[in-house]
Amino acid sequence: MNDIRDLLPGRMRERAFQLKARRDTGAAWHEPQFVECKQCGRRATRQIWAKSLFVCPNCGNHQPIGAYYRLSLVLDSGSFRELDAELAPQDVLGFPGYPEKLNAQTQKTGLSEAVVAAVGRIGGVSVVAAVLDSRFFMGSMSTAVGEKITRAIEYAAAKKLPLVIFSASGGARMQEGIFSLMQMAKTSAAIERFSARGGLYISVLTHPTTGGVTASFASLGDIMLAEPGALIGFAGPRVIEQTIGERLPEGFQRSEFQLEHGFVDKVVPRSELRATLIQLLQLHAGGRKTE
């Protein structure tokens, strides 16, 4: 009986996780069955998009995806355990209308904040993974996002586990002002302490990764990976062009441009990301699977 009771919580946790991942694809929200690519404008059924991991079946454009769904694509089945799920944003400045907007974002996405952190396994290797979700306030960095990222880093350090962070963000959250900007220093300091203890940090940059997230933890990986076509930079190209009064090079700030200029180590299609992470993590673990 004790063995059965020990198994049930894990099964229930995995089922809840898979339901959240399915909801991220729109399957549980009764959304339109046809999805239009924002790049080429062509449409395909939601089932076809899901089969292609939400990479356009016509032009290969990588559509932003939800945090739970992304974790379901890389974590070993049954290994997901969420960290600090109860951590929610605070209206630290009493910003007009902010609580109502937070509630609307939660109702729309099912998320309590713009980041999901978890411990799990990838190819048998235990890891801490955090995913920013651009559907919630454009993945902007609030005090709660900074705290959850920092706690994930500290958990990885305490447990001596590798760290993988998937970034997708529009930068700081204006409703939290200077407190949002403080998270840049907070998360960067946590990464520095993690690195000083010999931890492996793999940063995966997805579309878009901009602003304060790019200027802090997203750019501090020991290994920098990026999805194809991802916009990666501090300010966007339109703002830069308006500032300098010049036209930017073709593909400026896209992941392929960043690879060519040494900012990222490899551009990895979504279909190959799990295999790439398995290879890197098992090399780091010396070929040994961890519990």
Give all domains of the chain, ordered by start, each with its CATH number. Answer: 64-285 (3.90.226.10)
3-state secondary structure of 188: helix
pTM listed for this prediction: 0.92
Q: What is the pLDDT of residues 269-289, one digit of tens each?
A: 999 999 999 999 999 987 555
What's the pLDDT at 285?
87
Mean pLDDT of 221-236: 95
Task: Output the CA–CA distances (angstroms, integers) from residue 153 to 13, 149, 159, 197, in the order listed.
Answer: 22, 6, 10, 12
Omega before 208 cis (within 30°)? yes
3-state secondary structure of 144: helix
pLDDT at 4 exceeding the cut of 50: no
In whole angstroms, what is the distance from residue 232 CA to residue 254 CA?
6
pLDDT at 7 exceeding the cut of 80: no
3-state secondary structure of 74: helix
What's the pLDDT at 9?
67
Mean pLDDT computed over every residue of the chain:
92
The sign of the CA dihedral 65, 70, 72, 74 is positive
pLDDT at 17 exceeding the cut of 70: yes
Closest-CA residue to 50 (of 270, 279, 278, 288): 270
Mean pLDDT of 183-210: 97
Q: Are 199 and 162 in contact (CB under 8 A)?
A: yes
Known binder of ligand: residue 125? Answer: no
Known binder of ligand: residue 173? Answer: no
What's the pLDDT at 26?
80
Known binder of ligand: residue 100? Answer: no
Task: State the pLDDT confidence band at 6, using cuts at 50, 70 and 90.
Answer: very low
Known binder of ligand: residue 23? Answer: no
Residue % of the chain over a pLDDT of 70 = 93
Mean pLDDT of 24-51: 84
Q: What is the DSSP letter of 92?
A: T
pLDDT at 256 exceeding the cut of 70: yes
**Strand pairing partners for 131?**
116, 166
